[in-house]
């Protein structure tokens, strides 16, 4: 339903707009019954103190899986909006977001958008056990940063809503170097020139200050581009300075502007959550519901699919698979849906009509000579999902046409024996034709 979008879910079963990929899976009334009764916790055991009680078990099952994923060096924390305009005490309004109304989730991810942890905003942000209370925004960073190993030298990025000197000190005590934009009123002990003074000196002007808080050295830089930007870090500084291009309205051409290293690092590695939002927005599940936990559930399905696709791309790159042969997000999501629809189907059932491939025609000839085990259809053989070779205790005839060999290897999904050795590779040939 996220790939083929229709205004109402009932239209997938209607005569005018019937979509076979949806309507053939289950009846319409069955779909509406499942959506109506789906729950993630026992309503009789209500917990009035937990606003996320209805999806608490879903959150508790997802977080360990996200936190167990291997982490890159560069990590970022930012807020994410789950679009929702219904009535809910959890609903937030952020005017600068693409989706202004919805639920707010704080996400820890890498530069490509791979999620490692998240925290749903429910009105309060208490500090994690054993950590100082440094305010609501800082407590969120400390809570999400619990999954970061300080000894691995991960670098953490966040924006000015989270940043404070106390947060930089708390992260440094955990062994986590950090970098982020900072509001000027939170930089106690560091004084910078006003924007008007820096504007007179020209674009690219910057100032650098150093502060030591609880024996932690923090460097702060103010850089003037179109306006002043304050950035602080426990591992980076203004040097080395690089040149970037900016459009000059008066000269009507691009000019070179000096840019400190701390600004370059922030712009390069801070956009992880924005990348995640863009990937989810391509094929978001749009199913209307008045129940707030349905919107969370559909969002987590989208998040898990994007995470799976990013891990798939990472594995393909490690195996040197060319990008042209890798599935894009649309093909990856469609293959997941197709594989889930095949669960529980009887692959041995006979298909009406003429065989659609040479393999099936040859197999029909073999059946006339005597009883043989059925083989799956071409759609199942070539879906490239779950076809793994495994060793059987019995040796049987190879089911690939015109092969007279005997083998103990069989496909775990198709449940047929196929030759797999240095002289023959009927396993690959059977799943490609």
Residue 15 CB neighbour total at 10 angstroms: 6
Distances (CA, A) of 425 to 372, 374, 413, 418: 21, 20, 17, 8
Predicted pLDDT at 367 = 59
287 is written with which tokens? 């199913």
Of 181, 134, 176, 185, residue with least CA distance to 155: 176
Taking a C-beta distance cutoff of 8 angstroms, is the pair 411, 380 a contact?
no
Residues 43, 78 contacting (CB under 8 angstroms): no
The per-residue pLDDT for range 158-188, each reduced to its tens digit, is 999 999 999 999 999 988 999 999 998 888 8
Decide: helix, strand or coil at residue 79: strand
What whole-number distance in Å separates Cα of residue 284 and Cα of residue 328? 15
Look-up: residue for tokens 């059977």? 430
Q: What is the pLDDT of residues 398-410, one digit of tens each?
A: 888 878 889 999 9
- Tell me, what's the pLDDT at 349? 55
Q: What angle do CA 216, 219, 223 make, to 5 degrees?
A: 160
Render the burial of 282-308: b for 16+ CB within 10 Å, e for the rest: ebbbeeebeebbbbbbbbbebbebbbe
- Model's pTM, two decimal places? 0.75
Q: What percent of the chain has pLDDT over 70?
A: 92
* pLDDT value of residue 346: 61
Per the CB < 8 A criterion, the answer to whether 139 and 127 are in contact is yes
What interhelical angle do 272-282 and 329-342 show, nearest 10? 60
Each domain of the chain, given as residue ranges in start order, spans 1-36, 52-152+272-343, 160-269, 358-432
Give DSSP secondary structure letters for 112-153: T--EEEEEE--S--PPPTTS----HHHHHHHHHGGGS-GGGT
Please identify which residue in the block is written with the tokens 């370059």: 264
Question: What ranges in 319-396 are assigned the alpha helix state H?
Answer: 329-342, 358-369, 378-381
Per-residue model confidence (pLDDT) at position 371: 59
| Cα–Cα distance measured from residue 21 to residue 18, given in angstroms and rounded to the nearest whole number | 9
Show the low-confidence residues of the chain (pLDDT under 50). Answer: 354-356
DSSP-assigned states of every residue in 175-212: T--EEEE--GGG-TT-----HHHHHHH-TT-EEEEEEE
């Amino acid at each position: 339903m996220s790939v083929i979008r229709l205004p109402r879910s009932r239209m997938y079963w209607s005569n005018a707009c019937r979509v076979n990929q949806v309507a053939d899976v289950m009846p319409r009334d069955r779909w509406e019954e499942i959506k109506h009764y789906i729950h993630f916790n026992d309503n009789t055991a209500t917990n009035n103190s937990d606003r996320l009680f209805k999806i608490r078990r879903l959150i508790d099952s997802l977080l360990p899986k996200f936190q167990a994923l291997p982490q890159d060096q560069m990590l970022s924390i930012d807020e994410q909006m789950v679009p929702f305009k219904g009535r809910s005490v959890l609903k937030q309004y952020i005017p600068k977001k693409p989706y202004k109304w919805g639920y707010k989730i704080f996400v820890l991810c890498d530069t490509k958008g791979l999620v490692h942890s998240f925290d749903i905003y429910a009105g309060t942000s208490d500090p994690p056990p054993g950590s100082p209370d440094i305010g609501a925004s800082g407590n969120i960073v400390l809570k999400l940063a619990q999954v970061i190993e300080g000894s691995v030298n991960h670098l953490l990025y966040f924006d000015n809503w989270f940043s404070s000197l106390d947060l930089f000190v708390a992260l440094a005590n955990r062994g986590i170097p950090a970098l982020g934009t900072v509001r000027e009123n939170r930089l106690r002990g560091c004084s910078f020139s006003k924007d008007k003074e820096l504007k007179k000196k020209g674009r690219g002007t910057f100032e650098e200050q150093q502060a030591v808080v609880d024996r932690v050295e923090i460097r702060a830089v103010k850089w003037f581009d179109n306006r002043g930007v304050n950035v602080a870090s426990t591992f980076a500084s203004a040097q080395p300075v690089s040149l970037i291009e900016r459009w000059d309205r008066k000269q009507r051409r691009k000019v070179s502007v000096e840019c400190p290293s701390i600004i370059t690092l922030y712009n390069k590695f801070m956009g992880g959550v924005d990348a995640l939002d863009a990937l989810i927005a391509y094929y978001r599940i749009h199913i209307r519901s008045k129940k707030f936990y349905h919107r969370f559930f559909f969002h987590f399905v989208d998040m898990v699919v994007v995470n799976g696709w990013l891990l798939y791309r990472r594995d393909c790159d490690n195996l040197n698979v060319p990008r042209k042969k890798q599935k894009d997000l649309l093909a990856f999501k469609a293959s997941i849906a197709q594989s889930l629809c095949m669960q529980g189907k009887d692959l041995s059932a006979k298909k009406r009509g003429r065989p659609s491939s040479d393999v099936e025609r040859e197999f029909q000839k073999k059946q006339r000579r005597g009883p043989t085990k059925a083989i799956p259809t071409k759609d199942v053989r070539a879906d490239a999902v779950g076809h793994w070779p495994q060793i059987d205790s019995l040796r049987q005839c190879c089911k690939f046409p015109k092969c007279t060999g005997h083998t103990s290897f069989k496909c775990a999904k198709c449940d047929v024996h196929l030759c797999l050795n240095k002289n023959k590779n009927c396993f690959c040939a059977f799943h490609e034709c």
